Structure 1
Amino acid sequence: MATAQQVPDILSPEFAENPYPAYRMMREAAPLIWHEPTKSYIISRYRDVEHAFKDSVFTTDNYDWQIEPVHGKTILQLSGREHAVRRALVAPAFRGTDLKEKFMPVIERNSRELIDAFRDAGEADLVTQYATRFPVNVIADMLGLDKADHERFHGWYTTVIAFLGNLSGDPEVTAAGQRTRREFAEYMIPIIQDRRKNLGDDLLSTLCAAEVDGVQMDDEDIKAFCSLLLAAGGETTDKALASIFANLLTHPEQLAAVREDRTLIDRAFAETLRHTPPVHMIMRQTARDVEVSGGTIPAGATVTCLIGAANRDPERFTDPDSFDIFRDDLTTTRAFSAAADHLAFALGRHFCVGALLAKAEVETGVNQLLDAMPDLRLAPGFTPAEAGVFTRGPQRLPVEFTPAGRG
């Protein structure tokens, strides 16, 4: 068995290339590590990460320094009544009737437009031509923003994610993140002010008009939420879409099963979230001393919760390093709710508000892509590889197919 000293550092090139062996060593030999460079305690076992997401003793106070500098104060930092009110203002747009009636057509149209660009080409890169564009386009459309600004949105959210994942404290990454906050405010605040005067049926208008118990969101609240939405909704769904195809293309028999029975898309998505989650680590802060496997985390400490490690804990999942959409220890019906088995959306009161939006995007995307590319296969000689530490997924996914025509 490995010792704590043998575990590769989470900032090392070895870890960035393939964190999964390091995750195994941590779970087995060092379930609690004090990590000096990030001044945080690292936890890796399923039961400990689940505890951190569900128990209110693990707070989101760390977002004051981790997220606020780039987004402003967001819903993620709030707790108690303030959090409940803000969540009630934004949540309806991401579930139920609003999602189905207002935003499903937006999702379907945006996916189709992107596929139309390569539908007849017989080849495509599913990351650069589809995954990195689709969720951001959907969010821009939902908010009623100009999709011509796509490159700016993409640049902003990439910079924000780099800031959040800046574990080594690179000053250039920090400066770029702070610059993005200013640029996004200059772009967004005038649009919000104009929208307040000219309400439409887009999500931005909904946020401007929303009121719970006499509380409305101010311009700064709305701007911070839009910033969070672009970053969280762009980067994560982008990585999830790339990963679901990388996983299926490297398991052709499972890809064939999904193509034949599209109800399996949810299973493939849930298993992708478990096996190769888009977000590999989330931080929390302790309100008091907490016992976890391997020792005690003191009050006021930053805790790095390794989702990527917890989701492959053999104490929770059978044969956890295998991608298997048919596994019986992952409940698909709960996979997109706060009662999920996997930890990719976090759990509890800060469970990802956009989980059902992500599910709708992935279902639509996978369905439309499989329709357009009936014999989809990896480009000859290409093996998918993940990149990233904080968020992780394939950077390229070149595929070939015989065009199915324009349905």
Structure 2
Amino acid sequence: MTTLPQPPDILSAEFAADPYPAYRVLREYYPLLHDKGTDSYLLSRYEDVQRAFREAVFTTDNYAWQLEPAHGGRTLPQMSGREHSARRALVAPAFRGRELQERFLPVIERNARELIDAFRDAEEADLVAQFATRFPVNVIVDMLGLDRADHDRFHGWYVAVVGFLANLAQDPAVAAAGRRAGEELAAYLRPVLRERRAAPGDDLLSVLCAAEIDGTRMSDQDITSFVSLLLAAGGETTDKAIAGTFRNLLSHPDQFAAVRADRTLVPVAFAETLRYTPPVQMIMRQPAEDVTVSGGTVPAGSTVTCLIGAANRDERRYARPDEFDIFRTDLTAANAFSAAADHLAFALGRHFCVGALLARAEVEVGINQLLDAFPTMDFASGTAPAEAGVFTRGPENLALRLTPAAAPGSDRGLTARRPGGPRTSP
């Protein structure tokens, strides 16, 4: 008789240290498990998580308690039907196509360059503290056309709001800090919005103030909640994706050498990182009616925790799922940043991440500029640092030994590589 392993506890220290063995147990023996610690039903297989993201029966009603208190109002992910399609149509154009390339790519390039310049001549740097965690927040502040002197202030709000969203154990101090950050951010933005409505500029806040679809416009509350969401979701994904991509590549020197030699592999390495070590490990849903999945039935109205980190390593979907391999044939980089993605890191369907292309642009610019600035880099300790986190996950630090690039005179550091393209002057 085969003895079943004990169901994993996703709030345990063992799980936090390394969730991937627990994910294997869940997929194999407990594809549907009611987790008492979070009072939610865990889905771990690719097919089931994919269904939860695509099928309308799995609603986002759970975001009323999970997101709204920190963001200060209803946000795009918790909307549905016409309300969702109208709001998404208002914000989406700023994060794709010509708008992204012409208006905001220079902002991304400048912020990457400025952060790298601060340690460009260093022989060692912490890529998380000195680059990854600051870069996306700084970009968002500048896209919004806000005071660059407030970069640190926004970083503090970002940390607090992300802490609220990741607070699976419901620590009251963490929850209070997240709510307070949301309130402070909204108070900061309200007078700025009055100014932008009266005298619009070419920044993202002005775009959001002026956007109109079928007579629908965004209120101040809509915009402040969206900015809070953008700060948290946009910052956390890019922050951990950059650090995770370097950690994964440096742990596989042959693949790192391949990416350095052929920069068209940068988005491929990013896509494989999203599969192998997704920054967001889990997303919740709430079924409107009883739903049958692998292992049983999820009751209507319950909370479903979709374990992206488990589904993205499902052996039913991927060959050698526990191996990082940028050359794998069962992941297509060409659609990795669209709603047709082969991985689940950005969700799927109607709630596919609206900022996926912004994240791609930030990660590609950041990685390319770092590779340009440092011809050699390696782990300062000789080994890869551990990852940390349960709801979101990535290295807390990434100390690297660096060899700065030799550059002639004052031209040093004044070039940038655009995603997928040649060097250009900023």
Which TM class, normalised by the smaller chain length? Answer: over 0.9
Aligned counterpart, 1:18: 18
Amino acid at match of 1:346: A
Aligned counterpart, 1:67: 67
Counterpart Cα distance in 2 of 1:175 and 1:367: 39
1:181–1:324: structure 2 CA closer, same or farther, 3 Å change rule? same
Larger CA deviation: 15-24 vs 380-389: 380-389
Aligned counterpart, 2:132: 131
Whether 1:302 aligns to 2:303 is: yes
Once the 2 structures are TM-superposed, how far is the Cα of residue 121 of structure 1 from its aligned partner? 1.3
Q: Deviations over 1:124-173 (max 9, x none)?
A: 11100000011111110000011221222111121111111111111111
Larger CA deviation: 229-238 vs 161-170: 161-170
* Structure 1 contact 8–14 (Cα < 8 Å) conserved: no
Counterparts of 1:377-396 in structure 2, within 5 Å, are 377-396=378-397
TM-score (norm 1): 0.98
Counterpart Cα distance in 2 of 1:112 and 1:148: 17
Larger CA deviation: 146-155 vs 135-144: 146-155
* Structure 1 contact 123–399 (Cα < 8 Å) conserved: yes
Aligned counterpart, 1:103: 104
Q: Deviations over 1:334-373 (max 9, x none)?
A: 1000000100000000000000001011111111100100
Aligned counterpart, 1:190: 191
RMSD of aligned residue pairs (Cα, Å): 1.2
Percent identity between the two aligned chains: 69
SS state of the match for residue 381, structure 2? Answer: coil
SS state of the match for residue 167, structure 1? Answer: coil
SS state of the match for residue 376, structure 1? Answer: strand
1:229–1:128: structure 2 CA closer, same or farther, 3 Å change rule? same
* Structure 1 contact 3–30 (Cα < 8 Å) conserved: no
Larger CA deviation: 247-256 vs 156-165: 156-165
SS state of the match for residue 28, structure 1? Answer: helix
* Structure 2 contact 115–131 (Cα < 8 Å) conserved: yes
Amino acid at match of 1:215: T
Amino acid at match of 2:196: R
Amino acid at match of 1:264: L
Whether 1:120 aligns to 2:121 is: yes
Aligned counterpart, 1:280: 281
Whether 1:375 aligns to 2:392 is: no
SS state of the match for residue 144, structure 1? Answer: coil
Q: Deviations over 1:309-329 (max 9, x none)?
A: 000000000000000000000
Once the 2 structures are TM-superposed, how far is the Cα of residue 198 of structure 1 from its aligned partner? 1.5
Once the 2 structures are TM-superposed, how far is the Cα of residue 380 of structure 1 from its aligned partner? 3.4
Whether 1:338 aligns to 2:339 is: yes
SS state of the match for residue 120, structure 1? Answer: coil
1:2–1:346: structure 2 CA closer, same or farther, 3 Å change rule? farther
Aligned counterpart, 2:204: 203
* Structure 1 contact 378–397 (Cα < 8 Å) conserved: yes
Aligned counterpart, 1:33: 33
Aligned counterpart, 1:250: 251
Counterparts of 1:144-223 in structure 2, within 5 Å, are 144-223=145-224
Aligned counterpart, 1:56: 56
Counterpart Cα distance in 1 of 2:2 and 2:165: 30
Q: Deviations over 1:208-252 (max 9, x none)?
A: 000011111000000000010011111110000000000011111
Counterpart Cα distance in 1 of 2:166 and 2:263: 35
Aligned counterpart, 2:424: none
Counterpart Cα distance in 1 of 2:178 and 2:366: 30
Amino acid at match of 1:105: P
Amino acid at match of 1:10: I
Counterpart Cα distance in 2 of 1:316 and 1:147: 44
Counterpart Cα distance in 1 of 2:209 and 2:320: 48
1:214–1:280: structure 2 CA closer, same or farther, 3 Å change rule? same
Counterpart Cα distance in 2 of 1:2 and 1:135: 49
Amino acid at match of 1:229: L
Counterpart Cα distance in 2 of 1:380 and 1:79: 48
1:215–1:4: structure 2 CA closer, same or farther, 3 Å change rule? farther
Aligned counterpart, 2:232: 231
Once the 2 structures are TM-superposed, how far is the Cα of residue 375 of structure 1 from its aligned partner? 1.0
Paired residues in the alignment total 407
* Structure 2 contact 8–26 (Cα < 8 Å) conserved: no
SS state of the match for residue 304, structure 2? Answer: strand
* Structure 1 contact 280–308 (Cα < 8 Å) conserved: yes
Once the 2 structures are TM-superposed, how far is the Cα of residue 2 of structure 1 from its aligned partner? 8.6
Counterpart Cα distance in 1 of 2:347 and 2:67: 17
1:2–1:89: structure 2 CA closer, same or farther, 3 Å change rule? farther
* Structure 1 contact 2–29 (Cα < 8 Å) conserved: no
Gap regions ≥5 residues in structure 1 = none
Counterpart Cα distance in 2 of 1:366 and 1:192: 34
Counterpart Cα distance in 2 of 1:392 and 1:2: 33
Amino acid at match of 1:25: V
TM-score (norm 2): 0.94
Aligned counterpart, 1:315: 316
Aligned counterpart, 1:401: 402
Counterpart Cα distance in 2 of 1:354 and 1:215: 21
